[in-house]
Amino acid sequence: MTIPASIKNRLTLPAIAAPMFLVSGPDLVIATCKAGVIGSFPAMNARTSTEFADWMTKIIEETGPYAAPYAVNFPLSRMKGGQLDDYFDICRKYRTPIIITSVGNPASIVDEIHDWGGLVFHDVTTVHHAKKAVAAGVDGLILVCAGAGGHAGAATPFALVEQVRAFFDGILIVAGGISTGRAIRAAEVLGADLAYLGTRFIATKEAMAEEDYKNMILQEETQDIVYTNSISGLPANFMRSSLQAVGLDANDLPKPEGPFRPNLPDGITAWKSVWSAGQGVGLIEDSPSTADLVLQMTAEYQSACAMD
């Protein structure tokens, strides 16, 4: 299965603005979808199920049937108590077109999402996990490759995409340092259907990130990105200046106690006080509106296509 025509016809670029904890909210999703790129947000960015339902209503009302579809992200094993059920019920009610699952096995919810006509895309970083997700029945695999913002894999897309394509003919999505229209085209040439961009969308007017965070994205270079499991308890990329700002030494970070169990000094938390970004920061020099960013990337994409 490639991308259904009902989705493809509504895209100006074959891309998804990836879900980012504390960064992606309704304004970014709406601006992204209206610009013709799939917009997404982590369900947990809405603090309660009531707020989540309000966000969904706003997104659906303001994007309408012709904009690109939106996606909701569920970090399955990180959702507490009945939180997953509560939020999931709301997605069922609104027939959310795309659910992006991460950290956990999506097998138990895939059938239900298909029943309401939705697609399931799942985050993986290795061939082993890609095979498990295919067995769970997902429609799309998101290959989170080296250099991606947030929790990232260690494999280069040049190795991973072709290996996964060899056994998976579903929707293939690739992530890791993609910040330009030319790189989106490169992802397609490698064999992906869609590119997945997080960091590039932090520096946009509609992102919920605070101004200092956006400015740091403009200033930081690729060599400033630190790949470590010390901050969240799983391997992830963070900006060196952000580590320094809270008094952490990138060369001497505390060892985590286990997955999702970092061992940081009091008051320091991943994502909130230590800011994440991928290696694509080295290409980001402005903080435009999402509409302008998509226009600029579309021009870059088209000029790359013209060189085929």
Residues that bind ligand FMN in the complex, under the rule CB under 6 A: 18-21, 23, 42, 73, 75, 102, 123, 144, 147-150, 175-178, 196-199, 271, 276-278, 280
Q: Which is nearer to ligand FMN, 15 or 253 (CB)?
A: 15
DSSP classification of residue 221: -
The C-alpha torsion from 224 through 276 and 76 to 175, rounded to 10°, is: -50
Q: How many residues does the chain have?
A: 308
Q: Which residue has the tokens 């077109």?
A: 97
Minimum gap (Å) between residue 196 Cβ and ligand FMN: 5
Q: Which is nearer to ligand FMN, 43 or 306 (CB)?
A: 43
Q: Which residues contact 275 (CB under 8 A, 6 or more apart)?
A: 209, 213, 216, 238, 239, 242
Q: What are the DSSP E strand ranges found in the chain?
A: 15-17, 39-42, 70-75, 98-102, 119-124, 140-144, 150-151, 171-175, 194-197, 225-228, 236-239
d(CA 172, CA 152) in angstroms, rounded, equals 17
What residue is closest to ligand FMN based on CB? 198
Residue 254 CB, nearest distance to ligand FMN (Å)?
21
CB of residue 130 to ligand FMN, shortest distance in Å? 15
For ligand FMN, give the closer residue by CB, 118 or 149: 149
Return the residue matching tokens 């399931």.
120
- Given the structure tokens 């909210």, which residue do they identify? 25
Q: 110 or 308: whose CB is closer to ligand FMN?
A: 110
CB of 234 to ligand FMN, least distance (A): 11
Cβ closer to ligand FMN: 140 or 147? 147
Nearer Cβ to ligand FMN (39/147): 147
CB of 152 to ligand FMN, least distance (A): 7
Residue 124 CB, shortest distance to ligand FMN, in Å, is 11
Q: Using CB atoms within 10 A of its CB, is residue 104 exposed (0-12), middle (13-18) or buried (19+)?
A: middle
